[in-house]
Amino acid sequence: MRNGGRLRAGRDDRLCLGCGSSLPPPFLDLGSTPLANAYLRPERAKLPEETFPLAVAYCANCHLVQLADRVLPDRMFGEYLYFSSYSDSFLNHACRMVNEMIQRFGLDGTSRVLEIASNDGYLLQYFLRRGVRVLGVEPARNIAAEATRNGIPTLTCFFGPEAVSEIQARFGFADLIIGNNVLAHVPTVNDFLSAAAACLKPDGAAVFEFPYVKELLDKSEFDTIYHEHVFYYSLSAVEILARRTGLEVFDVERQPIHGGSLRVFLQRPGRRPSAVRVETMLRQERDEGLTDAEHFVSFGLQVEALKRQLVSMLQQLKFSGNRLAAYGAPAKGNTLLNYCCIGSELLEFTVDRSPHKQGMLLPGSHLPILPPEELTARRPDYALILPWNIAGEIVDQQLEYLRAGGRFIVPIPEPRILEHGA
């Protein structure tokens, strides 16, 4: 039972965080790893790192894919190194989303937009420029402070039932609530959505984006699994969840961001007609196995095969005398490296554009994070791209490295090599 997780005390009596029914054993076990955002200062390299089990289970009753073990959120979000504004593609996505929302919901100077997990104000800044009133809610103190410095009104707290009265008093009810990449992070998701419903005007809409579990399965994106991501949603799961919390799905769109996301539109029941594509996607999900436990079990086996393939590729390159490094220091990279047990014996370092990460070490693998210029300066033969979802952007920025003979490895959906002119 090396992979079944039954040996771990207490897991058998885990209950689904959505519907409360008993959870089956995990379909994928990524081992016990440090938190994916627990970047280390070099002086702490010799100290023991705290690790937590990382395994995913599927609830056949409400279709929610979720972590089998959970870490308390305040362990994870007190200080957070992910500043949204450091990724160009993320900013472009936010700007486009704002334009679409303003047009679709007819927002103007009288409208109010509330963003949950507003980060450094990367998205709300575009609403502000269009004269729309905004409030951000952001639990990470350092990031909320940066947003406030940038002129984005921000409450520093977790969004949930206890935040509702302060939001209503300070801001009123919202025409639009946006929550990008937050729904997956909140273990008490029933309370969270009920609180969102409580902050909405009667005709208001709540729009959430999150990585789509179908993409995770179809493209082997197992590295989007980490302790901060409690849930991996299908529309089938969100539809049940919304109904439970007094909301309904009235539209859904697929978005290319983060390796493939869903954007769902929620409202109080019956306020607008439901788009036909909601029913279409629910039917497709049933047809494709997203509501079938066996489908998830075969995914677990597929991930184990990918791990063997990537490690063997890197080992062969290294043993043939190549120097290897990594590019990027995203949380997902830590899942990938730690699950595959790839560390400094294979990769020399990684580089990242965020000055907040430079000088730190990746959790678990302890690769040092250097500025991007070091890639051309130190010129490893191969660099493993950890944020593979923006591989195109990275290649464009690193033409000098490629022209000098450097090559990139994209690990997912299956390991492949990119070189200049290829």
Q: In the complex, what is the shortest distance from the CB of residue 19 to Zn ion, in angstroms, rounded to a whole number?
A: 3
Task: Single out the residue of 335, 360, 361, 344 nearest to residue 52, CA to CA.
Answer: 335
Token digits of residue 268: 């109080």
Contacts with Zn ion, residue ranges (CB under 5 A): 16, 18-19, 59, 61-62, 64
| Phi, psi (rounded to 5 degrees) for 125 | -55, -35
Q: Which is nearer to Zn ion, 237 or 418 (CB)?
A: 237
Written as one letter, the residue type at 285 is E
Q: How far is the CB of 27 from Zn ion (least distance, A)?
A: 14
Sign of the C-alpha dihedral computed for residues 364, 368, 373 and 379 taken in this order: negative
CB 177 within 8 A of CB 195: no
CB-nearer residue toward Zn ion: 90 or 296: 296
- Which CB sits closer to Zn ion, 62 or 205? 62
Residue with smaller CB distance to Zn ion, 62 or 186: 62
| Residue closer to Zn ion (CB basis): 18 or 53 | 18
Q: How far, CA to CA in Å, does 52 sit from each of 55, 126, 238, 307, 334?
A: 10, 38, 27, 20, 13
Write the DSSP assignment of 306-327 as a string of letters.
HHHHHHHHHHHHHHTT--EEEE
Whole-number Å distance between alpha carbons of 4 and 9: 12
Read off the tokens for 345: 């014996």
CB of 53 vs Zn ion, minimal distance in Å: 20
Count other C-beta atoms under 10 Å from residue 277's C-beta: 14
In the complex, what is the shortest distance from the CB of residue 386 to Zn ion, in angstroms, rounded to a whole number? 32
- Quick check: 51 and 45 in contact, CB under 8 A? no
Residue 18 vs 363, nearer CB to Zn ion: 18
Nearer Cβ to Zn ion (157/240): 240
Shortest CB 62 distance to Zn ion, Å? 3
* Contacts of 280 by beta carbon, 8 Å cutoff, 6+ apart: none
CB of 200 to Zn ion, least distance (A): 25
Residue 191 or 348 having the CB closest to Zn ion: 191
Q: How far is the CB of 60 from Zn ion (least distance, A)?
A: 8
Q: Kindly state the smallest distance separating residue 335's Cβ from Zn ion, in Å.
A: 24
Q: Which is nearer to Zn ion, 5 or 330 (CB)?
A: 5
Cα 283 to Cα 176: distance, rounded to the nearest angstrom: 28
**Number of alpha carbons in the 13 Å side-chain half-sphere of residue 311:** 15
CB 285 → Zn ion: shortest distance, Å?
A: 16
Residue 181 Cα distances to 212, 230, 342, angstroms: 11, 11, 27
